[in-house]
Amino acid sequence: MLALIAMVCAGALPARAQKIDSLALRLHMPRDKSVDAVVAAFAQSGLTVTNTTTSLVESDQGSLPTFGGKTQRIVRAVLFGADSTTTVVMTGDEIRMNDDGSLLRRLRIDNRAGGNGGKVWKRMVAAALMLDSASVPEAAREKP
């Protein structure tokens, strides 16, 4: 009887998507051209580029005031690789601070994020799809 109840309960709960908090992409071009491609993909997906080097593209989404502090969201694409292939790892961080600027909490933005974090995740996925759609897992594209 207990086994039957467990099966019914398990079937009644929707399956949750696998948690994904980074996107690893492979670009078949040298790093200097890859940086340009990442900058273009960020811009086209609504991520304003605020810092660029030969190995990093960064988008500071600004900070929003919250009750007792502020929240800042930053997306980074780190680029590394050989002459003809570049690996790009995209991550997003949500940083919560007190009014005095001290760190309260740092969270990784993932495919389960809601609110403004969820909006940033969708922009990250859009940029990744422009660069290397084959490397973006299905779970990253779906909203749970």
Delimit the domains of the chain by residue range: 21-60+74-93+111-141
Q: Name the DSSP class of 91.
A: E
CA distance 74 to 121: 11
Is pLDDT above 80 for 57?
Answer: yes
pLDDT tens track for 65-102 = 777 788 899 999 999 987 899 999 999 999 998 888 88
Lowest mean pLDDT among 4-8, 15-19, 83-87: 4-8
Instruction: Show the beta-strand stretches assigned E in the chain.
Output: 22-27, 51-52, 56-66, 69-81, 86-98, 103-108
pTM listed for this prediction: 0.84
Q: Name the DSSP class of 133.
A: G
Please tell me the CATH code under which domain 21-60+74-93+111-141 is placed: 3.30.310
